Amino acid sequence: MHRRDFLRTSLAGLALSLAPLPGIANASRSAGKTPARLLPAALKPGDSVALVSPSAAMEDPFDFQLAQEVLQALGLKVHTGAHMRSRRGHLAGSDGERAGDINAAFADPQIKAVVCARGGSGAARILPLLDYNLIRRNPKIFLGYSDITALHNAIHARTGLVTFHGPNGSGSWNSFNADQFRRLFFQRELMEYRNITDAGDELVQRNNRIQTINPGRARGELVGGNLTVLTAIAGSPYLPDFRGKILFLEDVSEAPYRIDRMFSTLKLMGALEQVAGIIFGECTDCKPADGFGSLTVSEILHDYLKPLGVPAYSGAMIGHIRKQFIVPVGGRVEMDADSGSFRLLEPVLQS
């Protein structure tokens, strides 16, 4: 082979090796179009719900009791997953056991809702093991947050089912969260999500403040959840279509440089340029480490979201906080970045 031919062949091969892989370059397109929206049935007092543990194991067995008592206090009958007390390393049982409990809950006609006991880590491992055809045939309320983001996005992407990003069974069930649960799931209220306004002992309110990044209003279906978990499934078929959606995000215990890296991932995969609006919740305990210095989370949000020009705000009561919104993944909303609020435009539950 002549030297010129060798160089031409080598450079062509190098170009191919550097070309972005289809699933990485635009993960939101690789997943394909999300199926038509599917609504779960509403709950009523006395209904049976399943308590499952798709991610990490409970650290304290007493948390099992608290999670059951919470659902019972809401007027529901509780069935626990067969493997909920199992353990394998940090996980609540093997992948097959955890996925099996979810599949069984959706298959059981007596069960009207599936509530995740806790988050942690490990939900993404079971995504290939879920029976999405079964879930599509038996649409039910599915509730949880944090690591459960992987399940919300996979279920919505593969079935179109509206699921709910909100308190886990073992989380805080203060009056704010319990009231939301009843209004949303029992009364089918078209919720408006607006931060609590209470200055307390301060002259002006300091907590639960929103910050408008780009003003304006936008309409679309909600997608998103925990930023770390969402970006971890980029390039997979378990990510919904981002086109025209309202993206909501939150995170916890992540240094700003990692938040920056994850927003960079969303930008490079083409997700940010496709959304109609962005709602950023709380980034709890996301302080810079000691060293040369760091961008703040606010600066990172400005860098990535301001140039988009779409309505965007931060500070929504979404995330690892005691009082948090129950957000319908797939629910159609109108957001108002000036007032820092969003509202349901259509029911997210069957009549």
**β-bridge pairing 217-226 and 246-252:** parallel
Give CA–CA dist 286/220, Å, rounded.
29
Is 146 an active-site residue? yes
Give CA–CA dist 239/223, Å, rounded.
9
CA 228 from chain centre, in angstroms, equals 10
Active-site residue, selected from the candidate residues 28, 53, 55, 146: 146
Q: Is 351 helix (H, G, I), strand (E, B) or coil?
A: coil
Which contacts (CB < 8 Å, 24+ apart) does range 233-236 have? Answer: 233/124, 233/127, 233/150, 233/153, 233/154, 234/24, 234/27, 234/265, 234/266, 234/269, 235/21, 235/23, 235/24, 235/27, 235/30, 235/269, 236/23, 236/27, 236/31, 236/127
Active-site residue, selected from the candidate residues 79, 83, 165, 320: 320
Given the structure tokens 């998103």, which residue do they identify? 224
Active-site residue, selected from the candidate residues 28, 30, 170, 250: 250
CA dihedral 119, 81, 180, 47 (to 10 degrees): 170
Q: Are 222 and 330 in contact (CB under 8 A)?
A: yes
The residues carrying an active-site annotation are 146, 250, 320
